[in-house]
Structure formats: C-alpha cells, structure tokens
Amino acid sequence: MEQWTSAISFYCYDAMVRRYVLQYVFPKGAGGTPERKTIDAAVPEIKQQLGILNEAYGARNVLVGDQITLPDLLLAPIIFYVGMFPEGKAALAEVPNVTRAHAWMAERPSFKETAPKLG
C-alpha cells in the first residue's frame, strides 16, 4: 500500500496532473492555450503509468488486497480528471482494468458526493 501511495504521489501526480491536467485547467501557452510541448511530453509517461496500473488491477477493482485502501482513494480523482481531456480519454480507452476499477469507484456514494459539479 505504501509503495502504491508513493508511486501515485510522485509519478502519476506529476505526469497526469501537473504536466497534463493543469495544462488544460490553467493554460500557459501562446494566446492562453494549453502548452502542447508539456502535454505531448507527458502523454507517453501517462500511457506507461496507466499500463502498469492496468496490470496491477488485473481482475480486481482495488490495487492492494481486497479492500479499498489509500492508493485507490488517491488515484480516483486523478483518473477522473485525466479522463476529461482528449489524450487522457484516449489513453484510458486502452486500459480496461483501470477503466473498470475507476467506474466501480465512481459508483461509491462517497465519490458521487465529492465529485465536482462541472459545467
């Protein structure tokens, strides 16, 4: 559990949130557009990380054991936001175990109650 928490915090957060999602949320490119160079550099890392997560999930909906643990809770909002943008949506379409596990997590009352109301 500690290893997954660290990996998500240090690797997934960096590529998926800092260098991908935030480029869309707070665009710093020319004319207020997302910075493509940063996004394009992050996407291969995101795909690699999602592939690792996909294998780790296997047939389960949690990363460790048979119950929700901290890494599952830490990853859920990251996957939610990654899926909001085109490259992330496409990358998630390639990892069915991650997608299934996230859909399962998104059905939990606690997720529904805390999910941001967008649009």
State percent of the chain over pLDDT 70: 99
Domain boundaries, the chain: 2-114
Quote the pTM value. Answer: 0.94
Secondary structure, 3-state, 45-105: HHHHHHHHHHHHHCCCCCCCCCCCCHHHHHHHHHHHHHCCCHHHHHHHCCCHHHHHHHHHH
Task: Encode pLDDT of 44-81 as tens digits.
Answer: 999 999 999 999 999 999 999 999 999 999 999 999 99
CATH number of 2-114: 1.20.1050.10
